[in-house]
Chains A and B, each alone.
Chain A
Amino acid sequence: MQPVIDVQGAVKRYGQGDSSIYALAGVDLTIQPGEYVAIMGPSGSGKSTLMNIMGALDNMTAGKYFLDGIEISSMNENELSIVRGRKIGFIFQSFNLIPRTTALANVELPLAYQGIKSAERRIRATKALEVVGLADRMQHEPTELSGGQQQRVAVARALATRPSLLLADEPTGALDSKSTADLLDLFDQINAAGRTVVVITHEADVSERAKRVIRMRDGKIVGDTMNSGRVA
Chain B
Amino acid sequence: MSILEIIRFAFRGLSINRLRTFLTTLGIMIGVMSVIVLIAVGNGSSKAVQQSLDRLGTNSIQVRSGGGGFGTRARSVANNTKPLTVADTVALIDPVQAPDIKQAAPVMNANATCVNGTSTSTPSTFSGSWPSYFEASNTSIAKGVYFSNDDVTQARRVAVIGNTTATELFGTDNPIGQTIRCGGIPFTIIGTTTIKGSTGFQDGDSLFLAPITAVQNSLTGYQPLSSIIVEAKSAKTTDAAQAEIQTILDARHKVKTSSSRDYRLFNQATLLATSSSSSKVFTVLLGVVAGISLLVGGIGITNIMLVTVVERTREIGIRKAIGAPKRAILSQFLIEATILSLVGGALGVIGGFVGSHFQIVGVKPVIVPSSVFLAFGVSVLIGLFFGGYPASRAASLRPIEALRYE
Q: Report the stretch among A105-113, A130-138, A181-189 that lies at the interface.
A: A105-113
Q: Which residues of A contact B71 (CB under 8 A)?
A: none
A110 x B323 contact (CB < 8 A): yes
Whether a CB of chain B sits under 8 angstroms from the CB of A82 is yes
Q: How far is the CB of A153 from chain B (nearest CB, A)?
A: 12
- CA–CA, A76 to B260, complex, Å? 90
* Contacting residue for B323 out of A85, A92, A97, CB 8 A: A85
Whether a CB of chain A sits under 8 angstroms from the CB of B96 is no
B:385-406 near A, CB below 8 Å: 398-401, 403
Q: Which residues of B contact A83 (CB under 8 A)?
A: 323
Q: How many A-B residue pairs have CB under 8 A?
A: 71
* Contacting residue for A57 out of B2, B324, B327, B398, CB 8 A: B398
A:80-99 near B, CB below 8 Å: 81-86, 90, 92, 96-99
Q: Which residues of B contact A99 (CB under 8 A)?
A: 311, 315
Whether a CB of chain B sits under 8 angstroms from the CB of A157 is yes
Cβ contacts A63-83/B at 8 Å (1 or 0 each): 000000000000001100111
B:4-24 near A, CB below 8 Å: 5, 9, 12, 16-17
Whether a CB of chain A sits under 8 angstroms from the CB of B320 is yes
Q: Which residues of B contact A118 (CB under 8 A)?
A: 5
A:137-169 near B, CB below 8 Å: 157, 161
Contacts known (A96-B318, A99-B311); A58 close to B398, Cβ less than 8 A: yes
B320 x A84 contact (CB < 8 A): yes
Number of interface residues of A (CB under 8 A): 30
Q: How far is the CB of B395 from chain A (nearest CB, A)?
A: 9
Q: How far is the CB of B322 from chain A (nearest CB, A)?
A: 4
- CA–CA, A112 to B319, complex, Å? 11
Q: How far is the CB of A108 from chain B (nearest CB, A)?
A: 11
Q: Which residues of A contact B284 (CB under 8 A)?
A: none
Interface centre among A81, A82, A115 (most CB of B within 10 A): A81
Which chain B residue has the least Cβ–Cβ distance from A100?
A: B16
Interface centre among B16, B318, B328 (most CB of A within 10 A): B318
A98 x B321 contact (CB < 8 A): no
Whether a CB of chain B sits under 8 angstroms from the CB of A52 is yes
Q: Which residues of A contact B16 (CB under 8 A)?
A: 100-101
- CA–CA, A113 to B322, complex, Å? 8
Whether a CB of chain A sits under 8 angstroms from the CB of B177 is no
Q: How far is the CB of B122 from chain A (nearest CB, A)?
A: 71
Number of interface residues of B (CB under 8 A): 26
Whether a CB of chain B sits under 8 angstroms from the CB of A43 is no
- CA–CA, A57 to B324, complex, Å? 12
B321 x A113 contact (CB < 8 A): no
Q: How far is the CB of A139 from chain B (nearest CB, A)?
A: 14
Q: How far is the CB of A203 from chain B (nearest CB, A)?
A: 25
Q: Which residues of B contact A96 (CB under 8 A)?
A: 317-318, 321, 403
B1 x A113 contact (CB < 8 A): yes
A81 x B398 contact (CB < 8 A): no
B323 x A84 contact (CB < 8 A): yes
Whether a CB of chain A sits under 8 angstroms from the CB of B326 is yes
Whether a CB of chain A sits under 8 angstroms from the CB of B325 is yes
Whether a CB of chain B sits under 8 angstroms from the CB of A30 is no
* Contacting residue for B400 out of A52, A77, A78, A97, CB 8 A: A52
Contacts known (A98-B315, A100-B16, A101-B16); A110 close to B322, Cβ less than 8 A: yes
Whether a CB of chain B sits under 8 angstroms from the CB of A59 is yes
A78 x B1 contact (CB < 8 A): no
- CA–CA, A77 to B323, complex, Å? 10
- CA–CA, A83 to B321, complex, Å? 10
A58 x B324 contact (CB < 8 A): no
* Contacting residue for B324 out of A52, A97, A113, CB 8 A: A113
A81 x B318 contact (CB < 8 A): no
Whether a CB of chain B sits under 8 angstroms from the CB of A114 is yes
Q: How far is the CB of A229 from chain B (nearest CB, A)?
A: 35
A81 x B326 contact (CB < 8 A): yes
Q: How far is the CB of A171 from chain B (nearest CB, A)?
A: 15
A97 x B322 contact (CB < 8 A): no
Which chain B residue has the least Cβ–Cβ distance from A52?
A: B400
Contacts known (A112-B1, A113-B1, A115-B1); A98 close to B319, Cβ less than 8 A: yes
Q: Which residues of B contact A77 (CB under 8 A)?
A: 325-326
Cβ contacts B306-348/A at 8 Å (1 or 0 each): 0000010001011111111111100000000000000000000
B398 x A113 contact (CB < 8 A): no
Residues of A in contact with B (beta carbons under 8 Å apart): 52, 55, 57-59, 77-78, 81-86, 90, 92, 96-101, 109-110, 112-115, 118, 157, 161
**Pairs across A and B, CB under 8 Å, 6 listed:** A55-B321, A83-B323, A84-B322, A86-B323, A92-B321, A118-B5
Residues of B in contact with A (beta carbons under 8 Å apart): 1-2, 5, 9, 12, 16-17, 311, 315, 317-328, 398-401, 403
In the complex, the 5 A-B pairs of residues with the closest C-beta atoms, listed nearest first: A85-B323, A110-B322, A58-B400, A57-B399, A81-B325
